[in-house]
Structure 1
Amino acid sequence: MEVAVIECVVSIGPETTEGTGRRPVLSAVADDDFIAAGGHPTHVHDFHQFLFVPLGWITVTARGHEYRLSPSVALWVPAGLPHSARFDSDSIVVGESFDADRHRLPHTDATVVNVTVAQRRLLLARMRSSEERDDDAAVFATLSAGHQDSLPLPQPTSRTAAIVATELGRRPSDPRTATEWAQSLFISSTSLRRAFRSETGLPFSEWRTRLRLNHSLDLLQQGLLVSTVAARVGFVSTNGYILAFRRYFGETPGAYVRRAAERAAG
């Protein structure tokens, strides 16, 4: 199966009208000279791009970092950021583009987005639609929703693993181990662990840690004490939470709160 690439680009021509407040017409383009079967070489856009992969996976490289995208993990690529991409042979890649002069993106680096149900529905609806595609404020706002510092968290697809992921999303403090979850679902713990690793690329324990840390970001910004946040998302001790937070985010929760406040003020 060949890679399908759907990319929104600005089509400049006589149909473009200045002063109307509308962006130039967007069209789906596959440039055979630029898009190889295996991906994109390094290039730069003068627009912000939201990359979504409803089928398969791709790996985007920017500033020495690799970002693996899947149906549950998308990526913002800010205007002016050099990046390249490698495609899985069975991938469908969707790029939503936004005029950098009209839309303020709060990211200067490539930023992962854990795709929400609302975002997925919007993106799939726009894929199916034959109407003119605008980069309007509502679409940009929907795709920009979510915490910008969230860790990538691919979602499992098999029934039992998805049940566990959903329940933990509702209650990240649930203390059950993979073995206890497996017993409650009448499967082997080996099967459940294998499902998480093969479907998300992460061991169950790491997947759950990322989930808990992501949930903790909003709680920290609500002004809760670090000890309260640690308990609410399921860490046994405050020190364990601080160590995990620093491991994944490179700073302590307290330093993160101060930096987030400075960023918001700026």
Structure 2
Amino acid sequence: MLPPYGTGPVCGISSTFVNVSDAQRQLLLSWMRASEVSEEDPAVFAVLCAGHRDVLPLPQPTGRSAATVAGELMRNPGDPRTASEWAESLYTSSTSLRRAFRAETGLAFSEWRTRLRLNHSLQLLAAGHMVSAVAARVGFVSTNGYILAFRRYFGETPGAYVKRSATRTAA
């Protein structure tokens, strides 16, 4: 993912966070450095947009406390600690931590963590792990809760996603 350079409207333009692979990042950077309009521009955008339906935008916090929590959760998405427990370990208030997440990412702490967990679950599903094992590993209390969250964000169950991904890969 490209680092966030700011949020909100700037000169009437609002920014949107987009997750990109390293290869897509390199392509985007080389395209941005080019000074001329190219016939390949539409193709560049098509490559950059490929596959983004399956990844939820996940802006990264920049402040000390929120970035510390985000870093730890990225290493272990299944960490069960609440915002209050995180705040206590960082010697800050849970209100300050929650406000930092909202201000720096545009998302509530719980929403940010759910997106992180769902994004991480995509990798585990692609690796062939069972849905129940994925749910537990990324920190959902129940498999049913994971399936409901997955369906809410991606419009299909994890099992349907795996089947569709397998079909897409085979094609």
Taking structure 2 as the reference length, the TM-score comes to: 0.78
Larger Rg: 1
Aligned-residue offset at 1:55? 3.3
Per-residue Cα deviation, 1:50-108 (whole angstroms, up to 9, x for no partner): xx7963347xxxxxxxxxxxxxxxxxxxxxxxxxxxxx226899xxxxxxxxxxxxxxx
Local SS of the residue matching 1:55? coil
> Quick one: structure 1 residues 177 and 221, their matched pair in 2 at CA, closer, same or farther if it must change by over 3 Å?
same
8 Å Cα contact 2:4/2:60 also seen in 1 = no
Local SS of the residue matching 2:168? helix
Q: Corresponding residue for 1:196? A: 101
> Quick one: structure 1 residues 206 and 227, their matched pair in 2 at CA, closer, same or farther if it must change by over 3 Å?
same
8 Å Cα contact 1:57/1:91 also seen in 2 = no
Aligned-residue offset at 1:218? 1.3
Question: Could you tell me how far apart the structure 2 residues matched to 1:146 and 1:167 are?
Answer: 26
For 1:55, the aligned partner's letter is Y
> Quick one: structure 1 residues 191 and 260, their matched pair in 2 at CA, closer, same or farther if it must change by over 3 Å?
same
Question: Could you tell me how far apart the structure 2 residues matched to 1:154 and 1:54 are?
Answer: 7
> What number of residue pairs does the alignment pair up?
167
Aligned-residue offset at 1:206? 0.9
Pick from 119, 124, 127: which aligns with 1:222?
A: 127
1:178 aligns with 2:83: yes
Name stretches of at least 5 consecutive residues in structure 1 with no aligned partner.
1-51, 59-87, 94-111
Question: Could you tell me how far apart the structure 1 residues matched to 2:89 and 2:12 are?
Answer: 35
Aligned-residue offset at 1:164? 0.7
Pick from 89, 96, 117: which aligns with 2:10?
A: 89
For 2:10, the aligned partner's letter is S
Higher relative contact order (CA 8 A, sep 6+): 2
Q: Corresponding residue for 1:154? A: 59
* Aligned pairs for 1:13-28 within 5 A: none
Question: Could you tell me how far apart the structure 2 residues matched to 1:159 and 1:216 are?
Answer: 26
Aligned-residue offset at 1:122? 7.4
For 2:155, the aligned partner's letter is G
Q: Corresponding residue for 1:56? A: 6
* Aligned pairs for 1:106-255 within 5 A: 113-115=18-20, 149-255=54-160
> Quick one: structure 1 residues 53 and 166, their matched pair in 2 at CA, closer, same or farther if it must change by over 3 Å?
closer
Aligned-residue offset at 1:113? 3.3
> Quick one: structure 1 residues 144 and 250, their matched pair in 2 at CA, closer, same or farther if it must change by over 3 Å?
closer
Moved more, 145-154 or 161-170: 145-154
Percent of aligned positions with the same letter in both sequences?
Answer: 71
Aligned-residue offset at 1:216? 0.4
Aligned-residue offset at 1:261? 1.4
Higher share of residues assigned helix: 2
Name stretches of at least 5 consecutive residues in structure 2 with no aligned partner.
none
